[in-house]
A and B are shown apart, each in its own frame.
Chain A
């Protein structure tokens, strides 16, 4: 089937099998390998992307279901290669180690901050509940997000 999507402002048209998951479509067909795969049960959130303004796990969506939608991935964060405040905060607070969960973590935190610019610590944890990190224990990630929350 034909699928047309806009990813980070760029429009792509591809022919895909209906069974192809959005995450495979992004990584294998569009070569946007920033979004990752860490499980096969929808638990880990490494594949989290924002579809038409809504944070989703792209491993539980078929590519054909995204037809006509506008998708934001980690590659789209920041302008002309610069880091966003949130990305800089991750660096400042050592909120990443291996970096594999980081793209999904950033998308979840970005979605949170759009809706709630000044989240409490518990709100931050709740917003990151769908993203597994095995390196950091989350403490520094929560600190990083807190540091960019408007006072």
Chain B
């Protein structure tokens, strides 16, 4: 509770938002605020200005292209994605979103906010890496597209630089996906998670074992556990899990996610 003083701006367009962010070094984009506002309550972070993106309809919505590519606006909420008919084209997206936090948070929290905060316990970063999502970032020098593998740079750090915004995420067509997690209580804080997609070979992205999702590939679900071991993970220890336990879970969950993906 009780945030530090902060300026507030509510731009009417992405262009205006970019100007505000560029003009104020201490400005930070406010999406759903379901992470940022809590960090501000702890005063562990205190931006000088919040640029509220909630007015930007152009950043909302889910579109399905002829080739099956999904385009998700960064400000689309979890709930909107779960209810989107188009998003059913890649069922795993809605399924995973439905296990994030709770109704209230899903009603306000956004897909873009989730990936941009890149808290190691979030479900979406590994999922985006597994499905081979591509992030579109816009800045003063125009748009660029970054593959999910290169998007996540560190805890709370992504390819979205100062003065830039994530505008949309595109997810290629596909159905054979899986997801597995061990959490603190049902749908609670994540201890370790894994997202898998099968497309010829198996791609598995592991969450909560490093600052960024760790991608491993194998020919089949059977080979995933070895691939994870070969990755020589050195996960952080915390109050919920030791490095050794996370390392063990990573192999188990990666296999389960891969098996689910293969079985679809």
Binding site for B on A (CB under 8 A): 1, 17-19, 21, 24, 37, 40-42, 45, 48, 54-57, 59-62, 64-65, 108, 111-112, 126-127, 129-131
Contact = CB atoms under 8 A, between A and B. Distances in A.
B201 interface: no
A42 to B, nearest CB: 5
B103 A111 contact: yes
A37 B104 contact: no
Contact of A21 (B3, B4, B52, B102): B3
A129 B108 contact: no
A102 B39 CA distance: 26
Interface in B99-128: 101-105, 107-108
A55 B105 contact: no
A7 to B, nearest CB: 18
Nearest to A23: B1
A130 B37 contact: no
A62 B8 contact: yes
A54 B6 CA distance: 26
9 contacts: A19-B3, A37-B1, A42-B34, A57-B104, A57-B108, A60-B37, A62-B8, A64-B8, A129-B103
Contact of A1 (B1, B8, B38, B107): B8
Contacts of B1: 21, 24, 37, 40, 59
A17 B107 CA distance: 25
A130 B6 contact: no
A22 B37 CA distance: 12
A61 B5 contact: no
B141 interface: no
B8 A57 contact: no
Contacts of A127: 103
B103 A60 contact: no
B3 A42 contact: no
Given A21-B1, A37-B1, A57-B104, A65 B54 contact: yes
Given A18-B7, A18-B50, A60 B101 contact: no
A39 to B, nearest CB: 9
